[in-house]
Amino acid sequence: MSVSDIIGSVLVFVGLLGMLIGSIGLVRLPDFFARTHAASKVDTVGVIVAVVGIAIISGLTLDALKVLLIGFFLLLTNPVAAHALGRAAWKSGLKPWRSDAQEAKSEEAGK
Amino acid sequence: MSSLANVMVLLFIVATAIPFYRLVKGPTVFDRLLSIGAIGGKAIVLILLIGLMFDRLSMFVDIALGYAILNFIGGIAMAEYFRLRKEEE
Amino acid sequence: MSLAAAVGLFVLWVLFSGKLDAFHLGIGALSVAFLYWQESRLPAIRGEGERRLRIVTTVVYVFWLLWQMLLAAWYVAKKILGPKEGLQPRMFRFRCEMPSQVNSVLFANSITLTPGTLTVDVEGDEMVVHALTADTEKDVFEGDMAQRVARLSEASASVSVEKLPLETKKEGRV
């Protein structure tokens, strides 16, 4: 059990926690756009941290470089995918959810 | 060490299982696409972890990269498809 | 595709194949040549020509963005685990004239990566953004990040973020 193993395991563990919170957000948040926040930020960071942990565990090899490249690829593509989904939902007329307080406020303004 | 590994496996199962709820229940098709993307992201980590476990990382890394590219292209293609179909209606 | 991009692709090929014999390098060279040919058939991006980014500023910016991304994940994680009253989601539209299209794309991507905001639509200079709370909406209008992105290509650039009414589009027209 070397030092790099321990650091890598801790990173993978933190990444797993991030993924877990992202998953909870996917179920718990009220509407599609809010869920996209959970999937595009918390989940992405979780996956990338876990991938970096795996690269550290595998040591200083060509494979570790490839694993890091996968992490970089995810960093570039995940916001783009989230944007594409959000745009599709917005263009097809999906309206964002609003809290009760916001609804009450806009009703007052309308009167 | 093995107990820590057990906790990690359990966390992983839970984190992967939760999006399936949104996949089945999701009120709109975009919610479903979102959860497919989330599951795909976790599958990449799963493939890499399996590679570490069997000491064959050099093989599994290529599979993971292919999976990441397919996940990205597939997600964008499906988003565009459903956007165009909604506009036709 | 510039020659530098072709060389970059070839380096990527060598990295991923991991083999240095004539056969594998030959396949790589053929693939890059094929991509070079196919890319020349694609229509060019509309608008003004390619704008160079200042290298040092861009590298500093990328690290700042990575840090922002960690902050964003922390912020959204707190919102997820916190009470529902903490959420006041809203959509808004604004105009921000960037020096070039590259800057616009970078700005849209940066908005997605910073705490609590998500770019939903980009049409020319106008963007539609979804924010989780009122605070995160304010951050966009302070224009700090817009300034940073504009300065990636011009040191003296100054941009303003101007709020527009969020028109409610008729469904079906779009």
- ipTM of the modeled complex: 0.84
pLDDT mean for each 10 residues of chain B (89 residues): 78 89 86 90 91 86 91 91 80
In the predicted structure, residue C143 carries a pLDDT above the cut 80? no
Q: Go through C109-138 and write b for each residue having 16 or more CB atoms within 10 A of its CB, e for each that does not.
A: bbbbbbbbbbbbbbeeeebbbbbbbeebbe
Q: Do C172 and B87 touch (CB under 8 A)?
A: yes
- Residues near B8 by beta carbon (within 8 Å), at least 6 away in sequence: A12, A13, A16
pLDDT in tens, C80-93: 888 877 788 888 88
Q: Which residue of A has its CA nearest to C131?
A: A34
Contact at 8 Å (CB) between A71 and A48? Answer: yes
Q: Do C77 and A62 touch (CB under 8 A)?
A: no
DSSP alpha helix (H) spans, A3-111: 3-28, 32-37, 44-57, 62-91, 100-110
For chain A, give the percent of residues with pLDDT over 70. 87
* pLDDT tier at A101, thresholds 50, 70, 90: low
Neighbours of C19 (CB within 10 A): 11
Question: Left if phi > 0, otherwise alpha if psi is -120 to 50, otherwise beta: which for A110?
Answer: alpha
**Bridge partners for A4 per DSSP:** none
| Domain residue extents for chain A | 3-110
| Cα of C137 to nearest chain B Cα, Å | 24
In the predicted structure, residue C172 carries a pLDDT above the cut 60? no
The shortest CB-CB distance from A40 to any of C89, C112, C172 is to C112
| Cα of B49 to nearest chain A Cα, Å | 7
> DSSP secondary-structure letter at A109?
H
| Cα of A51 to nearest chain C Cα, Å | 15
In the predicted structure, residue A38 carries a pLDDT above the cut 50? yes
| Domain residue extents for chain C | 3-41, 55-164
Question: What is the rounded distance in angstroms from the CA atom of residue B19 to the CA atom of residue B12?
Answer: 12
Q: What is the pTM of this model?
A: 0.84
Q: State which fold the C55-164 domain adopts.
A: Alpha-Beta Plaits (3.30.70)
Q: What is the DSSP string of B5-48?
A: HHHHHHHHHHHHHHHHHHHHH-SSHHHHHHHHHHHHHHHHHHHH
In the predicted structure, residue C174 carries a pLDDT above the cut 50? no
**CB < 8 Å to B14, chain A:** 20, 23
Report the pLDDT value the prediction gives residue A28, as an integer from 0 to 100.
86
Report the pLDDT value the prediction gives residue C117, as an integer from 0 to 100.
85
Average pLDDT (C60-68) is 88
